[in-house]
Each structure stands twice: as C-alpha cells, then as structure tokens.
Amino acid sequence: MEKSFSEIKELLIRKGLKATHQRIVIYHLLFNSFEHPTAELLFDKLKINNPSISLGTVYKTLDTFVQTGLAEKVLSETGSDRYDANLSSHHHIYYTDTKEIVDFYDSELQDLIIAFLNKKSIPNLKIKDFKIQIHGEKIDMVENQIN
Amino acid sequence: MEKSFSEIKELLIRKGLKATHQRIVIYHLLFNSFEHPTAELLFDKLKINNPSISLGTVYKTLDTFVQTGLAEKVLSETGSDRYDANLSSHHHIYYTDTKEIVDFYDSELQDLIIAFLNKKSIPNLKIKDFKIQIHGEKIDMVENQIN
DNA sequence: TCTTAAATAGGAATTATTCCTATTTAAAAT
DNA sequence: ATTTTAAATAGGAATAATTCCTATTTAAGA
Ligand SMILES: [Mn+2]
Ligand SMILES: [Mn+2]
Ligand SMILES: [Zn+2]
Ligand SMILES: [Zn+2]
C-alpha cells in the first residue's frame, strides 16, 4: 500500500498541484502514518531528513491537501488539529485513556447507516457525508456492552 | 424546559459545586442556547447583564461543567470549541454552508447503532459512547440521497 | 457574624495557527 | 539545456484561542 515518491508526484500533478519536494515528503509521511498526526508531529519527523522545511509550510500544505481532497482533518477535542490521508470510508475510535485515534472500518455499519439516512430524509438537508467517533478505553479482556 | 436560577443552583450543589452567580448565569445561558455556542459568544452575551464577568471565568466554568458532566464539548473543525448543555442522547448536523450545528435526535438510529456495536464487540475496547456528525448543506427542496 | 477554602477578575503567558514577504523552485517556453 | 515566471517556501511576525497567575472577592459552613 506504500506509495513511492514518483507515484505521489503523479498524484499531485493529477490534482493540479505543483509537485514540490515539500508536498511529496509531507504526503508520503502522512500517508504512511496511522496515528492521525498533528502538523507539529509531522514537522518534527520531517525535519530529520528535511532540515530546512518550515512549520508554516507543513500547515499550508496540509490545508492544500484538505482543499484538494488528498487528506481530511480528524476532529479532536483536545489541542491541535489532526490529519488523515486515508480516504477510504472509515470512522474513528478515540481511546480516552491513551489519547490514540484508531481507524475503524465496518462496511456493515456503514451500509446500515447509509440505508437509514436515505430512508429517513432530513428536511432541507443535502447530506454530503457523516462521521462517527467511538469513545472508549483500552481494556485487557474482550468485552463490550453499552447502554 | 427552561430551568430557573434556583433549579440551577440546586443542580450545581447536587454536583458538588459552589453555586456562584457566574456558574448560574453561564449554565442558564448555555442551557437555553441551541446554537452550541463558543466561550466567546457566551461571554459577549453575559457581559450585558454581568459587566464584570471575565472571559477566563467563562472558559474555566465551561471546563468545570464538562468535567462534572453538566455539559459537553461539541467537536468543530473550524476555530473555537463549542459547548452543549443538552445531555439527552443526540447527534449533530453540520451545515457546511451556514456553519450551523443543529441537534439531531433519532432514537431508531441510536438503537440501531447501539445494537450493532453490542453485537460486534471490538477487541480491547470498552465503549463509553459514540457521536455522529452529519455533514451537509441547506437546501430548499426536501431531498436526500447519499452514496 | 466570622472564617476560610474556593472562585473570580484582569491581565500576562502560552499554544496553535495564519500571515507576510524576500527568496527559491517547478515546470513551461524557448 | 537554458530562460522565464508564477507559484511555493522559509523564517519570522502577527493573531486567535485558551490557559495560567495571583490579588481580591465570595459562598457556605461554623
Ligand atoms: Mn480546543
Ligand atoms: Mn483548528
Ligand atoms: Zn483515519
Ligand atoms: Zn447538541
């Protein structure tokens, strides 16, 4: 699933973006991150191999990615914005104890909700998409029961 | 549904909080707001009748409410944090064009998802709750179909 | 009414993000 | 391969959102 620099370069050009070194390395790192990183975290990691990259560029580039549909912001209650280049339809588990945000895929749930919303029809609303956050904590045993 | 100052006072005391004037008026305003206001918006409105209230107190008080379970933060991608004293189980519609965040109640959907998550069981996760954001735009016609 | 621990006001400090502009660079044109 | 140029970046200043600090005030119990 890892994308090479040349694949990323093509992707950027396809989106009408200039394929700069900064955009390539930022996208590469974000795409291969599964932690939904902040701009600052990406910046700190990028600096190692790109010592002259600037934090402003990381912010601006992430915003460009969001505008062009190459990435999404992941909602967070605490602190800074987090980003995700995983565009496959998925939701997020928020571990309240460890602060991790972990991808949650479930096509059955996805279909269930889409079917429900299509059936339901909310007056005066054209739905574009929906996002679910599941909040909980890490446990040792396999167990879960809500409500 | 409007709560009187004395009811709010009781509520605060029941939660183990000192029933200060600031907490009472902040809770009162938040509870009767349906816009999921920011701290700054609450502050601006509160100043009219409470000219000496401070923004820091509004922030701190809202945090106290969140900690004691009297209010919740409502996730937002843009700008400042928003708050909600409506604790009945509900989700939110985000109007991308008007920036409004509107309550969405649907016990059928709620039950559907709870049943699904209970059946499913995610390894090593103890689910506490879940939140859904429905993103879309205001339209004139009653219409909706996703995917 | 007195006492006191907790809360507030007001402002300073910090964090997260955006803005500014001189310099650099990707990529189109030659 | 070189030149041109509009767009992007680096680096730092500015701003927005929030938290922190502390002298003063206040709720509530003795
Ligand atoms: Mn915040
Ligand atoms: Mn933000
Ligand atoms: Zn994700
Ligand atoms: Zn709400």
Whether residue B60 is found in the same domain as residue B19: yes
What is the signed CA dihedral for B21, B24, B25, B31, rounded to 10 degrees?
170
Sign of CA dihedral A5, A59, A133, B90: negative
Mean pLDDT of A50-56: 98
Mean pLDDT of A5-9: 97
Domain closes at, from B57, B86, B115: B86
Question: Is A39 or B78 the better-scoring residue by pLDDT?
Answer: A39
CATH at A129: 3.30.1490.190
Strand C within 7 A of A13 CB: yes
**CA at A67, C1' at C4: how many angstroms apart?**
56
Mean pLDDT of A111-135: 94
In whole angstroms, what is the distance from residue A47 CA to residue A41 CA?
A: 10
pTM of the model: 0.91
Whether residue A40 is found in the same domain as residue A98: no
Query: Per-residue pLDDT for B144 more than 60?
Result: no
Whether residue A7 is found in the same domain as residue A62: yes
Query: Per-residue pLDDT for A146 more than 90?
Result: no
Whether residue A79 is found in the same domain as residue A26: yes
Residue contact B137–A143, C-beta within 8 A: no
Query: Per-residue pLDDT for A144 more than 60?
Result: no
Whether residue B79 is found in the same domain as residue B116: no
Whether residue B55 is found in the same domain as residue B93: no
Whether residue A127 is found in the same domain as residue A109: yes
Residue contact A133–B106, C-beta within 8 A: no
By C-alpha distance, which of B140, B36, B138 is closest to B85? B36
Question: By a Cβ cutoff of 8 Å, what residues of chain A touch chain B?
Answer: 73, 75-77, 81, 93, 95-96, 104, 106, 108-109, 112-114, 116-118, 120-140, 142-147
Q: What is the pLDDT of residue A1?
A: 78
Range of the domain at A80: 1-86
Under 8 Å between Cβ of A101 and A76 = yes
User: How much is the mean pLDDT over chain A?
Assistant: 94
**CA at B56, C1' at C14: how many angstroms apart?**
14
What burial letters (b/e) apply to A12-23, b meaning 16+ CB within 10 Å? beeeebebeebb
Cα angle for residues A17, A21, A23 (degrees, 5° grid): 50
What is the number of residues in chain B?
A: 147
In whole angstroms, what is the distance from residue B106 CA to residue B90 CA?
A: 7
Whether residue A19 is found in the same domain as residue A77: yes
A64: pLDDT confidence band, cut at 50, 70 and 90?
A: very high
For B10-61, write each residue's pLDDT tens digit.
999 999 999 999 999 999 999 999 999 999 999 999 999 999 999 999 999 9
> Closest nt to A57 (CA→C1')?
D9
State phi, psi for B130 to the nearest 5 degrees: -145, 155
Whether residue B63 is found in the same domain as residue B109: no
Domain closes at, from A69, A86, A103: A86
Whether residue B79 is found in the same domain as residue B96: no
**CA at B80, C1' at C12: how many angstroms apart?**
21
CATH at A79: 1.10.10.10
Whether residue A44 is found in the same domain as residue A116: no
The tally of domains found in chain A comes to: 2
Q: What is the pLDDT of residue B77?
A: 87
What 8-state DSSP symbol labels residue A38? B
Whether residue A73 is found in the same domain as residue A113: no
Residue contact B122–A144, C-beta within 8 A: yes
Q: DSSP states of B92-130 as a string?
A: EEEETTT--EEEE--HHHHHHHHHHHHHH--TTEEEEEE
Domain closes at, from B46, B70, B86: B86
